[in-house]
Amino acid sequence: MERKRANEEFDPGPVSPAKPIDKYGFVKQDQNNPPEGLTKNKLASENEREESKVRKWRKMIGVGGSDWKHYVRRKPHVVRRRIRRGIPDCLRGLVWQLISGSRDLLLMNPGVYEQLVIYETSASELDIIRDISRTFPSHVFFQQRHGPGQRSLYNVLKAYSVYDRDVGYVQGMGFIAGLLLLYMSEEDAFWLLVALLKGAVHAPMEGLYLAGLPLVQQYLFQFEQLVKEHMPKLGEHFSQEMINPSMYASQWFITVFSYSFPFPLALRIWDVFLYEGVKVVFQVGLALMRYCHDDLIKLPFEKLIHALRNFPEDAMNPDTLLPMAFSIKVTKRLEELKLEYEKRNVKPPCPVEPVSKQPKTSTDQSSPTENPPQPIP
């Protein structure tokens, strides 16, 4: 009965007329096509390189990923180098599951996802339905109102909001779940979301979505200090113009660049993020600052805010930006800044009242109720 009612709620709406789409499934904005001969030659060369790359990757991961862990143990530097150069798109979904630890979670929890989707209810269901159409609205998979893409996105987000009721649902999670669904099934996407937020391989991300966004606050503090240390003149200019990272960088961390960055760049960042952790978000952010340094340092407040939210197209080229990002070493300093942030934000202990010698009544024996953090609407 529940399954039937859910299906009725998601009857597909009208399908929009066919439009030109790019290789990733997004509706093309620019209709200017290059000369046909140039396009064919470029495509042939790109296809040849991609096929060679796919062969190397298939040999590395084995059938269904059977050789992956063995190869990572034997040649970790080769794996890191190849991931930084970009995972072949046809293998991206499988490799993301392997490097995130989500495949193991899936195998250890058979039937759990189906239980969460079909038999559980969530307090966030209306919020999720309201936000679904805002997630990758120009992608064909999510364009159809109540179509298969939006239905899958709803299922994954609803399942997670039940699985972890402390986090529940926060709007930025839709872009992460949506990105994953473009490369894997609902159940696979759900367990990858769990792996990220609960920290199967790297530090847990759930603090990005808890009430008050505690992890976002920490990351913004760390990023502001790194900008001042790596680019002192720019850091000083930001201070003079009263610019802080919360004005432009929050979405970088909450959606790992999947919200407003060009999709090819976002994918390359995600390849590295899943393997190396959140440090790549800091590295990419610093690389953008460094690339645009000479322009940013001249701008007043209003133009500066606009520039930090709208980087030029040439700055968004993965083959230019990412090597610059990887050259910026941040791992040790991030750990030091994390400790500094924690010291600054430690809460003073509450004063302790003297313990009464009188025997406890029945009401004294019950511990005070702790209110868990509430999900942000």
**Given CA atoms 332, 336, 342, 348 in this order, what sign does their dihedral have?**
positive
Beta bridge partners, 26, equal: 139
What are 329-349's pLDDT values in tens digits? 999 999 999 999 999 987 766
Percentage above 90 pLDDT, the chain: 73
What beta strand segments (E) does 116-162 contain? Answer: none
Cα–Cα distance, 106 to 204 (Å, whole number): 18
Cα–Cα distance, 335 to 327 (Å, whole number): 18
Residue 346 confidence (pLDDT):
78
What are 280-329's pLDDT values in tens digits? 999 999 999 999 999 999 999 999 999 999 999 999 999 999 999 999 99
* pTM of the model as a whole: 0.85
What are 151-177's pLDDT values in tens digits? 999 999 999 999 999 999 998 999 999
What are 56-77's pLDDT values in tens digits? 999 999 988 889 999 999 999 9
Cα–Cα distance, 248 to 229 (Å, whole number): 19
Q: Is the Cβ–Cβ distance between 235 and 228 less than 8 Å? A: yes
